[in-house]
Structure 1
Amino acid sequence: MANKVEKMAKSTLNAQQREFIRSEVDLLIHNGDASESSLHRVAASLRVFADRPQAVAPPSRRSPSENGISIKKNDAKPSINAAASKATAVNESSTARRPPPSEVHAGDVWAHLSKRDAEEFAKEQLEHRKLLKRKEDEQRNFLEAQVQRRTEIKLRHEEDERAKAAIEMEQVRLWQIEELKKKDEVKKKLADDRQQRDEQLRLAKEKKAREEILRREDDERQAAAIREAIRKEEELNEVKRIRQKEEVAKFHAINKMHEDAKQRERDREAEMDKVHQKLYLERLAKDERERDQSLAKMHEKQRHQQTMATQMQASVAERAADDERKAKEYASKKEAQAAEEARKKAERQDQEKTKIKQYLAMQILEREQKQDEERDRQEKLRLQMKQDVEAAERAEHERLLLRKQKQDHQRVLLEQQMTERENQRPVYMTDEERRLNAKLIDKALAPKRR
């Protein structure tokens, strides 16, 4: 870092100047301010207060303005004397004591010019520090304002939350009040409805009691009328029962005739079924016998073939194997033929059984159809007879009703005639009435006698 400051100085340094640089750099490192600007300030102070003969350059080589520009450019500190004194205090073991700049440069014009530039730089640094302080104050004020604003926002938010909570609590309270009102209204409505239902029930019971009384009276009147009608109806039904007995006897005779015919038909069908069943069983037995005979013949033939094969083996040893093979082939062929014949026979038997079953099923179906037709015919006949009986009953009822109407009309006419005759017939007093009313009669007849 000292080498870096030496490069910034852009000049040849002696041992004292290098010691000064090292002391200043150590001080900056100790203070924790080893920045680029601090190094520039050390280099500027080195250029201004260096103890070197060629420091005062002629005007043709370096002008005061250039010197001032160099100082401003390197950001020199205003406390250069203090820095030099610190460096002297740190390096007490050095060979020579550094004199103050006022003594060294008492008659140096360029030193006075540099001092003026240093004073201007100090003023600028003061202004810069004031500006920094003002900025720090502004930043502090801004941060404090921001903190205060955030605090206010937080307080407003908490206040809003409390207000919102209060509003919600108030809303909940209002809802609870409203719910209580609704419950009270519902209870009141239920009580009113219950009272209204009780009143309606009481009225309904009273109405039902009145209707029950009226219904009983009406039922009694209707019962009396019905008893009278039943009595008259029984008188009419007596004649009807006699007629119905005759019709029922006739109907039973017809039914008996049909039942006899149906029984004969069933007996005939049963006989036919027995005959067909017997034929079917005989056919099955015959087929079974034929199958047994075929199997017996096949076994006999196989035994004969085995006997012949044995004899041939005993007589001719060379042809034994060939004959045995042929015998086995023949036996296999015969067995296959027998099995095929048995299979075909079984198929024929199955076909015959199927045909017989189909025939029997057709007969059963025809018989059931005939029975259904017979039942339908009997049902139609029964319905026809029922309709005839109902028609006869309706005709008889209409005839009796007409006769009753005619009798009622005749009775009314007779009553009218009798009433007219009673009204037209003269009134005669009895002997007792004449005796009691003799004075009145004499008084009434007196003017006529005069």
Structure 2
Amino acid sequence: MRIAMIGGGYVGLVSGACFAEFGVHVAIVETNPQRLHALRNGEIPIYEPGLDALVASNTQAGRLTFGDDIAHAVTGADAVFIAVGTPPRNGDGAADLQYVHAAARQIAHALTGYTVVVTKSTVPVGTSRRIAAIIRETRPDADFDVASNPEFLREGNAIGDFMRPDRVIIGLDQEKTRTDGRAEAVLRNVYNKISHTGATLLFTGIETAELTKYASNSFLAMKISFINEMADLCEKLGASVEDLADGMGLDRRIGREFLNPGPGYGGSCFPKDTLALSRIAQEAQSACRLVETTVLVNEARKAGIAGRIAALCGGSVSGKTIAVLGLTFKPETDDMRESPSLPVLHRLAEAGAVIRAYDPVAMNVARPLLPAGVIYCEDALSTAKNADALVVLTEWDEFRALVPAELAQRMKNGVVIDLRNIFDPAAIRTAGLRYDSVGRL
């Protein structure tokens, strides 16, 4: 079994390495010269736990290769996965499909025999059929099928999610599949070892598969925004959002995951996919009001965090030192896309704060995105030096291990603003620090 993976970014690299681990021969095509050079030299351009070792072992075994020649990679491949970027388009939030369409044209020129062309990128409904049209226009003689196979990889746990997934969703042209089952057979073979883990391989229509990714991420984003609003309500009423979330989560219809309040969701998926689904619904004249509201609630949440910090610092942060722990939108990644830290730190800097910041892995990625005056520290404790307030923005495990008394010794005016609820309130207060968390007593 041979496949080509067009795109060596997060989705393409993780998926390609995991397929190779299952014994599939994978050729990853990466047209960015710097990224390609890094990959060929064993350098992983993204932070994902375990990915470096997985890439190294499969490269050494000859099952995983990197190149920039699409024709070479596609020739003789059983399936070609498109895993290029689909960033939000400026102005309206719709997905920018220029890279997907370009890849389709290049694939069309390279096809040599029957091939399944699979959309792995997150794309609007109708994209896979547009890919099929592009290939037919470019190569009327090509023997191929198209499929949609959305990814559900959580940053920080992507390898586990790929190898032991809840489900694998594959969208096919169902009418054609009834008379010609070649595409389904190829993809069952590609996912053969994953299906042996007990994961469900769910075959749907193409449009359903494309929509499922957006619907899943938007639902999870709504869940986060809901618990954030409940946390605000708990603070007003003297209730505990943690107990509330536990009580809700014990209901099997709801579940406990994604019921953790914080400064708002970020990352590469939820912000982009909620905007894209809203756009898809508008174009279909079928409004998704819950999703639209979720976007507004999340933006307001992130925008209000700096004001909350200022209020806890006596109404102003001007001239005050704010220590910030965590810059990424979640732990176990160096992804800064749409991270709550970006609007928070920019607003604090505009208000005259002196910002000291630390993140275990994202310091270099964060520097060009944050205000020029941010002071980057070498560890969590040194970040707290002479701080008027310490703010937790990302729940890295190493922050949970901090000793409150050691924080108190280093801080000037001790207020801890725990926006991820990682600390024990009693322990922080016993150390003589003032403590504020999200939706807790």
* TM-score above 0.5: no
> Highest CA radius of gyration, 1 or 2?
1
TM (normalized to structure 2)? 0.14
Indicate the structure whose relative CO is greater, using CA pairs within 8 Å and at least 6 residues apart: 2
Q: Which has the higher helix share?
A: 1
